[in-house]
Structure formats: structure tokens, C-alpha cells
Structure 1
Amino acid sequence: MKTTAASFEEFSPAWSQKALAELRELVGFASISTAPAHTGAVRGCATWLARHLRGIGLDAVQVFETPRHPIVYAEKRVDPARPTLLIYGHYDVQPIEPAAAWTVPPFGARIRDDKLYGRGASDDKGQFFVHLKALELLLSQNGPLPLNVKILLEGEEEIGSPNLGEFIRRYRRLLRADWAVLSDTNLLSAQQPALTYGLRGSLAAELTVIGPRAELHSGVFGGAVLNPLQALSTLLAALHDATGRVAIPGFYDPVRAASAEERAYLRRYGPSEAQLLREAQVAQGWGEPGYTLYERTVLRPSLSITGLRGGYQGAGVQSIVPARASAKLSFRLAEGQDPHQVEEQLRRYLRRLTPPQVQATLRAQLHAPPYTVAPTLPVMQAAAQAYARGFGRAPVLQRSGGTIPVVSLFEQHLGIPTVLMGLGLPDDHKHGPDEFLFLPNFWRGIRTSLFFLRRLGQLTSPTPWLCSSSTATATRARATA
């Protein structure tokens, strides 16, 4: 397909239909990284992506093996004197449970009311695919790309990226770039773009309480043996105080207080209390006093109990004292906190509280520090300008309460900042039933990526930048186009 700069605002019907069909095919892969039964689908998705990258004209396409799921790489080098952008995405998806709550097939990629439904449609297949389509359009022209481009597509993001760090360390020279871009965050609304400048960190862990060697009859031993489920419940209840603050000693000590200027900005441009309650489908909020609901989710740390297991789970009644019980814990960490330090604080607290009749063990599964990037960087300003061209409105700045471990890996091993150009919606049901991608923003996203790539090609020498997972304080001024 031949395109010109003038045609970027309107794609041809034939190309648009082809791009949409390809997106639906991509979403159709049940690439659930956490489930061994779906290993074949994950690999099939990686193979499909490698073939697609070759098909749109990228070079050096490789599928790298890891101990679990593959990493797909491609590049297009046009001139060593030009800057290089590393585009990251993840093609693995969350499990579909509760499966019965879906009203459409989770991997059917059905379209209804401008929405493409399917697990991974927004997180993250539809979002990273935007950049591949923009590259396809640019590569279809007679001239070279405006800059060098490298693609890194991961198959393990939803399980904590256990092999990505080693891959980046090993292939540091291959991945060398001036900046990275990642689309796995949200817009403020369908019409209002938002440029994310901060992410919370994360610590994921599983707490297990072990009691008797085997399950016991509750009629014989109930009241004489401490029930591991009861002991676990007591420990979990002690993790928060009555006001909703995390009760682990020292937990809040390193948290950097947000400035009055930043808090005022977030109140002005962030979602309202009513909007957040509506999206959560609850009548009342909860959590740390002294902060708005939005501030609690992006400026302050939190602890969520995300899963419980123990005892009899079937229908009816079984009279037992279970042998063990476990809980999954998810910490979201604020600027200044270190996930390894929080893990040690939690271990000390649990050792102090665990009764002698049971044994408690803690297994940490993910450590990711918080991340902040300055909106005044030229690459961030280029992203703001691209949003304004693609959406017709300048973006607002926002923090995200989520965690994306790869941005800290890029900072640590490649020394580059990551631009977080989200295209998802706050209510697109990521990780839940009936996840969808809002298709008008798929097309706007392609236009945004086109302008972003062309603008970056004009930044001939990257300016020293500021991004930090521990020390940076981002400028709070509104991004301008």
C-alpha cells in the first residue's frame, strides 16, 4: 500500500480491513502464559508475530527461546547517525476466569458497538499492534524510516517477566537504543489522551500457614488444634489497621510525600471520586485516610489480598481441620519504597505474629520498583505532540497505580527512559470478563504512533534525561503540544 503524509489522517478501506483482520487473528491466540495447558498457544502466537514482522518489512526477526515462553525480536536499521527507538509489548494474556462471566467467547475476537472483545485485546495485543501498523505504513513508502527501530515482544509479562531481565542483560548490545516506548496504560477517557509519567512498584508474595501433617476430623480435634485457616485469617487481619493503613512497621517510612502542586494537578485532571466508584461498581470507597481515591491508587502504597486457598472447597460440608492454608498478597509500592526492603519488613512482622502452633512461610514471586520519568524530556514532549495530532487534543499528565517491571529493567540495563503511551480505557475490563479494545482509539493510536515516529526522527541527538525508579521527581506541568 502506498501512502503519503497527507493520507495519514485517513487509511484506505482495504488496508483498514486487513489491519483489523490481523488484529482479530492476533487476539484469537489463547496465549495464557500462566497455564501450562496453553504453552502451545503462546508459542503459536510468537510464531505468528515473527511471520507478521517479516511480512511488514522488518529485518533480523528472531524468536529467542527462554526457560518458559519465547521472546520475539525484530529491527530496522536505517542510519547509525539517527536515533533508535525500542518498541516493547507483551503478547501473553491473563487467564479468563471466571469463564462463566464472559458474554462473548474470550478468544473469539468479536466486534460489537466499536469494541473488539477478547482476552488481551487491550492488555496488551491491541495496544502494541498499533505501533506495528504504523511501522507498516511507513515502510510501505519509498523512503527509509525516520529513525532506527527495534521491536521486543515478550510472552511472560503477566507472570512477572521471570526471564526478561536475563535476556536484556545478555543482549544489551542488541537492544541498545536511545528511548523505549510502551503502550500498556490507559487514556483518561475515550476522547482525552493521557501521558503517564509514574508507575507504582510491586511486590507479589504467597503466604502459607502449615499446621497438622494431614487434615483432621473437626469433631475429634476441633478446639484442640489450631486451625491453619484461622491462623492465616488472624495474620491477614493484622496487615491493616482499622483505618485502612498497612500496619507493617516501617512500611510508610521511605514513601516520598507528593507536593501540594502535584496533588492539585491530579485532583484537577484525574478521575473523580464518583467516576472511580462507578468503574469499580461499588457504593463506597475504602483506604488510607487523608487522600482521595485517585491519590490512594497512584501516589500511595497499598496491600491487596488477591487469593485464598485452604480447607474443603466443594459442595456441601466436610468436617475437617485443614493441614494448611495460603493467601496471595499484592503490594503496590509508592515512590521511595524498595520491594526487597518491604519483603524483609513483612517477614519480620509475620515472624513476630505467627503463633507457635503453626508454621508460616513466605515466598516472594515478583519485585519491581516504582518508576518516574520527567515530562520535560524531549521524547516525552514528542509523545505529547503526537497525542495532540492523533487525538486532536493535548494529553494530560497522569500517574498509574499499576506496575510494568520492564521499564525499570530498561533503565537499569540499557540506561534509557521509557515513554508510556497508553491507549486503553479505564473501563475496558483488563484482567476481567469481556475485556475489549475500543476500535476508534486503535485507529487514533496508529495516527499517534505515526506522528511520534516521525517526530523522534527529528531529534538527532538525545538530550540527557531524568528517569528514576527511586529518586526522580517529575515535573508536574501539563504536557503541551
Structure 2
Amino acid sequence: MTTRDTAIARATAYYDSGAFLTDLRRRVAYPTVSQPPTDTAALRTYLVDELAPAVTRLGATARIIDNPTPEAGPLLLAHRHEADHLPTVLVYGHADVVPGQDDRWRTGLSPWHLVVEDDRLYGRGTADNKGQHTVNIAALEQVLTTRGSTLGFNLKFLMETGEESGSPGLHEFCRRFKDDLTADLLIASDGPRLAADRPTLFLGSRGAANLRLRVPLRDGAHHSGNWGGALRNPATVLAAALATMVDARGRILVEGLRPPAIPEPVRAALADLTVGGGEADPTVDTDWGEPHLTPAERVFAWNTLEILTLSAGDPAKPVGAIPGTAHADIQLRFVVGTDWQRLEQTIRAHLDAHALPMVEVDLLQAVPATRLDPDSPWVHWATTSLHRTTGKPPAILPNLGGTLPNDAFADILALPTIWIPHSHPSCRQHAPDEHLLGSVAREGLGIMAGLFWDLGEPLPEACRT
């Protein structure tokens, strides 16, 4: 008799046999960079040669569809339908990677060649996202084999090729193909676990808004001795403006940029979580940010306003001159409940109230925040599954501290969203020497085999209503 344990054992044997490394090595070799200038041919080739055959082996019918955004990479949409009365899961991943930064990798490493050193699997995309979607596809295949050519649920699979460049066209794609993407649940894997040794699930992501503050007072610079005291210094004005928005310990001072109170289920979910503490993690500044909150609450349940760049004059060659202009790029990471659609107006009103009308505000980009209720029956179901497989209580993050295009699924498709990451905080994604931990990938294979097995079993009544 086939069992859940058999599916998990087959999934981990896939890793132990070297098959996982073989598949990942082949996939890392595709230079699927999506940031401009984009080679959409490489993106399409990866879908055609790698992912379409992989999902076809799952008994799914795959289509590669042009992106609604011209010149952006295509998307892969696949369906496997077993029965109308069964639950349907939408599995998401992304095939693209950030630029390789080939010349900045440590000697002996390359972004496009998988290199194994002890537990570390080096290569671009190993952590983000090729390693993670390889885990999920393989787990599905082992469940299908174990059950005898049935999953026990309907499968839909969506793979985009532009997540690293802001997911162009994804939201419009979800609108156009909403009927094809109808499901009961989204399961996806991206980002890091809270810690390498702790299985994690997160239920959404913080939003992100990038803004630029500019103080364009005059053309050119003027001698600071001849004109100092007579000309307003745009850098001084900009520094003063920023100081009215966030204080010296990182606390947000603009009421409209602060979130509502932390909901009790969110606070409870974060109560036993620790941020950092890993071997390569930076030291957490416990006195930074909103007072009276834990570091976990500040990262996963609160807003942060970060100054990303601050520029005036020529920092490399300072001279005795008053600059004519100054600018700063700032970023608001925000949680659900923040009035993000009025950010420009909120900051404009704040600066005007502080007699700073000369500071211009431009919203460059914004991605909404999402968060599934930690008390959702789907969260309890997934938590039970992970705990049963690993024997460890998983970390439950109401939302990732970073930002993902989860609003396409939570808002447009109205799906409950469960993300189960298979990477770790020090994986160096987006940087040279990106790597995946083999031990985490192996455990992730077992976790996902158990999760997909459980999805094919009778679900709790609360998940079926």
C-alpha cells in the first residue's frame, strides 16, 4: 500500500541519488536574465526545453503564452484536471534571474555553472528561484508516482519570466486568464526561511513604494565663501526634510506612513520568532525602529522608511561650493492597512506643513502589501503538514519582510496564499556567490511531498467551504 511516508522517501531519494543536482545544474546553465536588456529568447528557451517537459511529465497540458507587456518574457500556464469535486491548487514560480555579475564571484565559482562545496550549491538561480521550483516540481512528481498516476487534486501551474524586473504583465495576465487560473489555494516557494534550520511559511508580503525627493533650486553650483549665507543650500533643506520624516533611531514620524495597530493573530504568530542569529547574519540593532516592538514585529508587522541614496554635489570630489540641486531615493516597506495609494499626497502635505514646499516628491513605483489571516484554516492545515513531516514547529510569518507579486494572486485571483521557502537568510540571492543549501533543499523536497500528499487527502471542512 502506498503511503505518505513513501512519497516523502521518494522525494528525498531524488536528492540523494544526485538527480536533483543534475536537474539544477542543467537549469542554472540557462542565462535567464530578465532585467534590461532582456534576452527573451533565453527565457522562452528555458520554458520550452526545461519547464514544459517537466510539467508534461506531471500529466499537465502546458501552454507558453506571450506576455501582455510588449518585449517582456513569456509565461507558462499548465493544467492537470482530475475531477470537478477535487480541490484545485495553483503553483507559482519564476524562471528568470538577476544579472550574473560574472566577474565578482569568488575564484572557482561562476553564475552559470553549478558548483558544489560541502552543503552549498553555488550558481545564479540556485536560491532564487530555480532551486525552489525544482524542489516543488520534483515533489509533485514523486506524489504522482506514489499514488499511481493520480494526485488527488487538480493542478494549475504558472511560471513567469519577469519577477526580477518587477513582474511586467503578470497582473494583466491574471486578469485576462482569470478563469484559467481559478483555484482554491496558491502554493509557491520563494525567498528565505526565517532560519536555515527552521521550516517556514509566509502568507503574503510587505508592500514597497519607491519615492524620490528632489530639491532643484538652481542651475550649477556657487562658491560657498562668496555666496554662503545668501543662498539656500538644497542639501541642507533635503537633510532637514528627511529628519522630519524619520528620526535618528529609524522611527517613522509621518502619521500617514505608519501602519494601523498590529492585529492580535499577527502578534501571536510572531511571538516566538527571532530575526537573525545565523552564522553569516548581520547583528540586529535591537534599539532601532519603532519602540516597544520586537525585531520580528518591526520586520514582519510594521512599516519602515529607508533612505536608499542621498546625493548632492560630487561626493567623490567635494569642493567649496553650494550645490544647485539635491535628491534622495527613499523606500517605504509597508504592511496591510497602510494607505499606500495616497503616499505622494501624504508626504506632500507633511512637507508643506513643515514649510518645505521646495522639496519635490515623485512616486516611482509601488507594490501593494498582502497578508492572509494567520487564523485561516489553510494556514492551520499547512502548519500541521509541515510539523508532521519535519517534527519541527514551523515559523509562521504573516507576511514576508520583502516584496513579491503576491497581490496578483491575493487581490486579482482572490486566493488564499501559502508560501513555503526553500532558501536561507544568507543565500546571497541577487549578489555574487548565490547559493542554496543542499540540506534545506532535501528537507524541502520532503516537506513539499508531504504537503502535496495531504492536499490529495480529505481536507478539513473549513478548507472546503
State the TM-score, normalizing by the size of structure 1: 0.81
Give the structure 2 partner of residue 193 of structure 1: 199
For 1:339, the aligned partner's letter is W
Contact 2:93 2:188 in 1 (8 A): yes
Q: Distance in 2 between matches of 1:211 and 1:97?
A: 38
Q: Distance in 1 between matches of 2:372 and 2:15?
A: 41
Give the structure 1 partner of residue 329 of structure 2: 328
3-state SS of 1:329 partner: strand
Say yes or no: does 1:238 pair with 2:244: yes
Give the structure 1 partner of residue 305 of structure 2: 303
3-state SS of 2:256 partner: coil
User: How big is the shift at 1:462?
Assistant: 6.9
For 1:27, the aligned partner's letter is V
Give the one of 113, 119, 128 matched to 2:118. Answer: 113
Within 5 Å, give how 1:98-137 maps onto structure 2.
100=104, 104-137=109-142
Q: Distance in 2 between matches of 1:390 and 1:348?
A: 52
Q: Distance in 2 between matches of 1:200 and 1:361?
A: 22
> Which deviates further from its counterpart, 340-349 or 318-327?
318-327
Give the structure 2 partner of residue 289 of structure 1: 291
Give the one of 179, 187, 194 matched to 1:181. Answer: 187
Within 5 Å, give how 1:123-272 maps onto structure 2.
123-140=128-145, 142-197=148-203, 199-213=205-219, 215-216=220-221, 218=223, 223=228, 225-252=231-258, 255-259=260-264, 263=267, 266-267=270-271, 269-271=272-274
Give the structure 1 partner of residue 346 of structure 2: 345
Contact 1:161 1:405 in 2 (8 A): no
Query: What is the alpha-carbon root mean square deviation over aligned residues?
Result: 3.6
3-state SS of 1:373 partner: coil
Q: Residue by residue, what CA displacement relative to the aligned partner does 1:179-198 show, whole Å, maximum 9, x if unpaired?
A: 11121243343332123245
Give the structure 1 partner of residue 84 of structure 2: 80
% of aligned pairs identical?
28
Q: Distance in 2 between matches of 1:176 and 1:317?
A: 58
User: How big is the shift at 1:84?
Assistant: 0.8
Say yes or no: does 1:27 pair with 2:28: yes
For 1:304, the aligned partner's letter is E
Q: Distance in 2 between matches of 1:348 and 1:97?
A: 42
> Which deviates further from its counterpart, 400-409 or 81-90?
400-409
3-state SS of 2:131 partner: helix
Change beyond 3 A, Cα 1:167–1:23? same
Q: Residue by residue, what CA displacement relative to the aligned partner does 1:118-168 show, whole Å, maximum 9, x if unpaired?
A: 333223222222111122334446422221111111223233334221111
Give the structure 1 partner of residue 427 of structure 2: 428
Q: Distance in 2 between matches of 1:458 and 1:382?
A: 12
Unaligned runs of 5+ in 2: none
User: How big is the shift at 1:301?
Assistant: 1.1
Contact 1:114 1:438 in 2 (8 A): yes
Q: Distance in 1 between matches of 2:381 and 2:426?
A: 27
Change beyond 3 A, Cα 1:163–1:318? farther
Contact 2:111 2:124 in 1 (8 A): yes
Change beyond 3 A, Cα 1:355–1:41? farther
User: How big is the shift at 1:318?
Assistant: 6.8
Q: Residue by residue, what CA displacement relative to the aligned partner does 1:354-378 show, whole Å, maximum 9, x if unpaired?
A: 756x56241230231241333441x
Q: Distance in 1 between matches of 2:134 and 2:213?
A: 37
Contact 1:277 1:285 in 2 (8 A): no
Q: Distance in 2 between matches of 1:411 and 1:462?
A: 22
3-state SS of 1:130 partner: helix
Unaligned runs of 5+ in 1: 467-481
Contact 1:417 1:465 in 2 (8 A): no
Question: Across the two proteins, how many residue pairs are aligned to each other?
Answer: 457
Q: Distance in 1 between matches of 2:459 and 2:171?
A: 29
Q: Distance in 2 between matches of 1:31 and 1:109?
A: 15
Give the structure 2 partner of residue 381 of structure 1: 380
For 2:334, the aligned partner's letter is L
3-state SS of 2:406 partner: helix
Q: Residue by residue, what CA displacement relative to the aligned partner does 1:322-348 show, whole Å, maximum 9, x if unpaired?
A: 564433322121342232134431232
State the TM-score, normalizing by the size of structure 2: 0.84
Give the structure 2 partner of residue 470 of structure 1: none
Give the structure 2 partner of residue 456 of structure 1: 455
User: How big is the shift at 1:255?
Assistant: 0.8
Contact 1:46 1:63 in 2 (8 A): no
Q: Distance in 2 between matches of 1:219 and 1:158?
A: 44
User: How big is the shift at 1:49?
Assistant: 4.1
Q: Distance in 1 between matches of 2:268 and 2:462?
A: 29
Q: Distance in 2 between matches of 1:143 and 1:49?
A: 21
Q: Distance in 2 between matches of 1:18 and 1:221?
A: 72
3-state SS of 1:33 partner: coil
Contact 1:199 1:372 in 2 (8 A): no
